[in-house]
Amino acid sequence: MTTSSSLSLADASTGSYIRLERIEVQGVLRRRLLDLGFVPGNVIEVMQKSPLGDPTAFRVNNTTIALRIEESSLIFGYYEESDER
Amino acid sequence: MRPYTVALAGNPNTGKSTLFNTLTGLRQHTGNWAGKTVVSAEGEFIHEDTAFRMIDLPGTYSLYSNSADEEVARDYIIFEQPDVTIVVLDATSLERNLNLALQVLEMTSRVVVCINLMDEAKKLGIRVDTDQIERQLGVPVVAVSARNKTGIDTLLDKVAEIASGSHVPKPVPVIYNDDIEKKIAQLEPLIRQTLGDRFPARWVALRLLDEDESLISSLRAKLHEQPATEQKEEIRYGRTACH
């Protein structure tokens, strides 16, 4: 278990694993993110930032999804020590 | 007798179109990229002397994000009410795929879950416990490989049982938190009163609570096709409930 405090996906460092805590994106996009696996409790991997720093690729449910900072800054979680789920 | 209708639902790239072609013999184009099936394709096949008409719905991850594809799939299941809906899942990524299965199971109980790409899963060392999934979902679950044509007969037997009504599946309902369940309980009788038994009341209640504008407008359009007598009240209801 980790004791680190909550941070947004936009602030998470590349290569880290984040256990999601809450999604503050609203509307249709919120639904889409939930459908793709951005669900509280799920662990996602921060894969890599694009050359210009945005968007960032995330690994969720075995699929790579790129999110812009507008969305990733509204998704919060905690660092997870390993990718253990 | 008119053929039974069978809808094929599933995530993009789960081999729905391959399964469709295997069953109907139609050469609908299949390929390894997402979003090919924009308009639903139709074909027919015979299994044990019974005729089936099969509709290949667009591949979607969900029925609620309100893209055009998802509206087509959702409206077909809810308004056309196929005799059986086959939900095709990718054996190699069940976690993501089961999301759609649960959504469909809230709309209709006449579902067969078809776990495809079993050959791929085997290569990756993934073992799928179909009995366990069947117990947890409450509907028949069949493992197939559409490409190698294995498991197809079992799948069609299950489809035929549900189509003829000799087997009525009882999906295990998703239970939401107390607040939501209370609101569902309040809405359900009102929905039955206005819409009758044509639509699954629990599901409509959930969509209203989710403020699903797209479903509400589809529902409104559908009700306009009905005889004028009940119209007014139904439309007004939709409007109040979404605010």
Dump pLDDT digits (tens) for B103-150: 999 999 999 999 999 999 999 999 999 999 999 999 999 999 988 889
Are B86 and B158 contained in the same domain? yes
Q: What is the pLDDT of residue B214?
A: 87
Q: What is the pLDDT of residue B230?
A: 45
Are B139 and B191 contained in the same domain? no
Give me the mean pLDDT over the B72-80 stretch: 91
Q: What is the pLDDT of residue B235?
A: 44
Place of tokens 């299965």: B101
- Given a cut of 90, whether residue A85 has pLDDT beyond it is no
Q: Which of B137, B164, B191 is the last residue of a domain?
A: B164
Tell me whether B4 touches chain A (CB under 8 Å): no
For B197-215, write each residue's pLDDT tens digit.
889 999 999 999 988 888 8
The verdict on residue B171 lying in a domain is: no
Where are the domains positioned within chain A?
Answer: 7-80
Q: Which fold has domain A7-80?
A: SH3 type barrels. (2.30.30)
What residues of chain B lie within 8 A of the CB of A43, using their CB? none
Alpha carbon distance B214, B153 (integer Å)? 37
Q: Which domain holds residue B210?
A: 178-241
For A9-47, write each residue's pLDDT tens digit.
999 999 999 999 999 999 888 988 998 899 999 999 999
The verdict on residue B52 lying in a domain is: yes
Q: Tell me which of B66 and B226 has the higher pLDDT.
A: B66
Taking CB atoms and an 8 Å limit, are B99 and A32 in contact across chains? no
What residues of chain B lie within 8 A of the CB of A37, using their CB? 95-96
Domain of B29, CATH number, reads 3.40.50.300
Q: What is the ipTM of this complex?
A: 0.74
Count of Cβ atoms closer than 10 Å to residue A3 Cβ: 6
What residues of chain B lie within 8 A of the CB of A32, using their CB? 61-62, 65
SS3 of chain A: the string is CCCCCCEEHHHCCCCCEEEEEEECCCHHHHHHHHHHCCCCCCEEEEEEECCCCCCEEEEECCEEEEECHHHHCCEEEEEECCCCC
Q: How many CB pairs under 8 A join A and B?
A: 27
Are B143 and B207 contained in the same domain? no
CA distance A18 to chain B (A): 18
Q: Which of B125, B142, B164 is the last residue of a domain?
A: B164
The verdict on residue B169 lying in a domain is: no
Q: Tell me which of A85 and B171 has the higher pLDDT.
A: B171
Domains of chain B: total: 2
Taking CB atoms and an 8 Å limit, are A36 and B61 in contact across chains? yes
Taking CB atoms and an 8 Å limit, are A28 and B61 in contact across chains? no
Are B50 and B152 contained in the same domain? yes
